Structure 1
Amino acid sequence: MYLTWLDSNSWLIEIGGKKILVDPWLVGPLVFGNQEWLFKGSRKSDRQIPENIDLILLSQGLEDHAHPETLKQLNRNIPVVGSPSAAKLVQELGYQQVTALTHDEIFNLNNNVEIKAVPGSLIGPTTVENGYLLKELESGFTVYYEPHGSHSPSLKEVAPIDVVITPIIDLALPLVGSIIKGTKSALEVAQMVKPQVMLPTAAGGDIEFDGLLLKFLKAVGTTEEFRAKLAENNLATKVLEPQPGDRIEVPLERRVTNSFAA
């Protein structure tokens, strides 16, 4: 299994001989609702779009997960799996093979990888977006991805999970609280599913941010503090910190895992 972090929440997961592009923001700026004055993310140069993508996987319909400018650059014939909100967006962009997964539904990718949607982040008053469990069918290795730190208790049913990709620090706003939950929730999910490896997501990488919102955002926690919490709780989980663009082979040992099927 190989993982490449492409900044922010964007990942290339190579599992079961397939290349899965997750929540890609690779070209152009990141702006919510055309309000650059409020928040804008940008790079000095665009990221190269990976070749031979087998699947695009989208956890949410928001711009930092289903980035319109990036999706317009990708081949519309690439299959897409996404939350209902993300699936609606890519259908409107002209993608030809789109599967909307609701919670607990499973998508089979060429009998190599099973992808199960699990409850993820609450967006707005009622919409719960997706996290994902990806299982390599030949080896049984599993990857869990949730980009805001909202972890469903149902994960206990498929523990242990080998790789967890989730925030390990908090990003908070005054009066609102944490919009990215990492410090407490990352430890809770580690205790719940006993991963061999954890990797942080939602961090900036090579990105520069501007806008009024930055004056109020507060980051809480560090990777070293999280490693110390794992040790204090007798968890042997390794925390890897890839640099943007680095393709890393994840060191895993085979162990017994449960099926996603009920």
Structure 2
Amino acid sequence: MYLTWLDSNSWLIEMGGKRILLDPWLVGPLVFGNINWLFKGSRPQERPIPDRIDLILLSQGLEDHTHPPTLKQLDRSIPVVASPSAAKVVRELGYHQVTTLAHGESFNLDNQVTIQALPGSPIGPFVTENAYFLKELASELTLYYEPHGYHAPVLKEMAPVDVVITPVIDMKVPVLGPIIQGKNSALELAEMVQPQVMLPTAAGGDVTFEGVLMAIIQTMGSTDTLRTQLAASKLSTQLLEPKPGDRVELKLQRRAIAKS
């Protein structure tokens, strides 16, 4: 299995001989609802569009996960698996093969990788977006991704999980509450699913953020803190911090415990 972090929540996952582009933001600024003064993400240079993409996987319909300028640059014939809100966006952009996954539903990618949608981040009072559980069928190695630190109890039934991509810090807006919760939930997740490898997402990288929202966001936690917590809990989980653009090979052991 190979992973390439492309900044923010954007990843290229290579497993089962397939190349899966996850929540891509690769070109142009990141803005919510065209309100530049509230929040704007920028990068010093655009990321190259990866070649030979077999699938685009989208967890949420918001711009930091379903980024219209990036999706306009990609081939509309690439299959897409998405949450209901993200599926609506890509269909409006002209994508031809869009599979919407509700919680509990699965998608089979060429009999090489299965993707199951789990409950993920709540967006307002009525929408809960997707987390994803991926399994490489030949090896039965697994990967779990949730970008805001909201992990459904059903995930415990899938333990152990080999690779976890999750935030490790908290980002909170006073009065409104957490945008991202990773400071405590990352350790709880590690204790729940006993991953071989954890990788942080949603923060850092070669990007800069500005705007009124960034001036009031409170950030807590760090990878160093989590690494200390993992050791104190006697977990053998390896916490990796790849640099943006680096293709990292994960040295994983097949486990005797059967996975669902």
Q: TM-score, normalised by structure 2?
A: 0.99
Tell me, what secondary structure is at the counterpart of 1:183?
coil
Whichever residue aligns with residue 13 of structure 1, its letter is: I
Which deviations, in whole Å up to 9, do the C-alpha atoms of 1:46-94 show, x marking residues without a partner?
1000000000000000000000000000000000000000011101110
Is structure 2 residue 183 aligned with structure 1 residue 145?
no
Q: Identity percentage over the alignment?
A: 66
Kindly indicate whether the alpha-carbon contact (under 8 Å) linking 1:142 and 1:163 is maintained by their aligned counterparts in 2. yes
Offset of residue 125 of structure 1: 1.0
Equivalent in the alignment of 2:238: 238
Deviation at 1:175, TM superposition (A): 1.3
TM value normalised by structure 1: 0.98
Deviations 1:87-110 (A, max 9, x none): 111011100000000001010000
Tell me how far apart the structure 2 counterparts of residues 256 and 73 of structure 1 sit (CA, whole Å).
42
- AA aligned to 2:6 is L
In structure 1, what is the equivalent of residue 85 of structure 2?
A: 85
8 Å contact 1:56–1:80 — kept in the other structure? Answer: yes
Which structure 2 residues correspond to residues 172-183 of structure 1 after superposition, within 5 A?
172-183=172-183
Task: Write the distance in 2 (CA, Å) between the matches of 1:180 and 1:259.
Answer: 28
User: For each residue in 1:104-154, what CA deviation from the matched residue of structure 2 results, as whole angstroms up to 9, or x when unmatched?
Assistant: 101000000000000000001110000000100000000000000000000
Asked if 1:29 corresponds to 2:36, the answer is no
Question: What CA deviation, in whole Å up to 9, does each residue of 1:143-192 have, x standing for no partner?
Answer: 00000000000011110000000000111111122210101110111010
Give the aligned partner of residue 213 of structure 1.
Answer: 213
SS at match of 2:185: helix
Q: Over aligned residue pairs, what C-alpha RMSD do you find?
A: 0.8
Deviation above 6 Å: which 4+ runs of structure 1? none
Question: Shift of residue 258 of structure 1?
Answer: 3.9
CA contact (8 A) 2:160 2:259 kept: no
Matched with 1:136 is: 136
Is 2:105 the counterpart of 1:105? yes
Q: Which moved more, 1:172-181 or 1:19-28?
A: 172-181
What is the CA distance between 1:252 and its match in structure 2?
Answer: 0.6
Aligned residues: 260
